[in-house]
Structure 1
Amino acid sequence: MVHVREMDVADIEAVSTIRVRGWQAAYTGIVPRTYLDAMTVEGDAARRRQWLSRPGRKARDLVALGDRGPVGWICFGPCRSEIPAPGRVGEVYALYVSQDLIGQGIGQILLGEAHDQMKGQGFEESALWVLRDNQRAQRFYERAGYQADGAAQEDIYDGITLTELRYQRVL
Structure 2
Amino acid sequence: MTSPPLLVRQMTAADCGHVGSIRVRGWQFAYRGLVPPSYLDALDPAEDADRLRARLARADAGASDLVAEPAGTGRIVGWAAHGPYRDGEQRTEDAELYALYVDPDHLGTGVGHTLLQESLRRRAALGHPRMFLWVLAGNERARRFYERAGFRADGAEEPFQVAGVRVPEVRYVRSLTVQAPADGSPRRLGRPSEGP
TM-score by length of 2: 0.82
Inter-CA distance 35–57: structure 2 relative to 1 (3 Å threshold): farther
Superposition map of 1:104-115 within 5 A: 104-115=109-120
Q: Which amino acid aligns with 1:151?
A: A
Unaligned runs of 5+ in 1: none
Find the counterpart in structure 2 of residue 126 from structure 1.
Answer: 131
Q: CA deviation at 1:57?
A: 3.2
SS for the counterpart of 1:95 is strand
Distance in 2 between residues matched to 1:33 and 1:103, nearest whole Å: 24
Superposition map of 1:20-31 within 5 A: 20-31=24-35
Superposition map of 1:56-67 within 5 A: 56-66=60-70, 67=73
Unaligned runs of 5+ in 2: 177-196
- Equivalent residue in structure 2 for 1:49, among 44, 47, 53: 53
- Equivalent residue in structure 1 for 2:151, among 131, 135, 146: 146
Superposition map of 1:1-171 within 5 A: 1-66=5-70, 67-81=73-87, 87-171=92-176
Distance in 2 between residues matched to 1:156 and 1:167, nearest whole Å: 19
Q: Which has the higher helix share?
A: 1
User: Contact 2:86/2:92 (CA < 8 Å) preserved in 1?
Assistant: no
User: Contact 1:2/1:64 (CA < 8 Å) preserved in 2?
Assistant: yes
Q: Deviations over 1:42-97 (max 9, x none)?
A: 11011011010004532100000122421100000011136xxx633100000011
State which structure, 1 or 2, has the greater radius of gyration over its C-alpha atoms. Answer: 2
User: Contact 1:87/1:123 (CA < 8 Å) preserved in 2?
Assistant: no
SS for the counterpart of 2:138 is coil
Q: CA deviation at 1:33?
A: 1.1
What root-mean-square deviation, in Å, do the aligned CA atoms of Structure 1 and Structure 2 show?
Answer: 1.3
Q: Aligned residues: percent identity?
A: 46
Inter-CA distance 56–44: structure 2 relative to 1 (3 Å threshold): closer
Q: Which runs of 4+ in 1 moved over 6 A?
A: none
TM-score by length of 1: 0.94
- How many equivalent pairs are there? 168
SS for the counterpart of 1:129 is strand
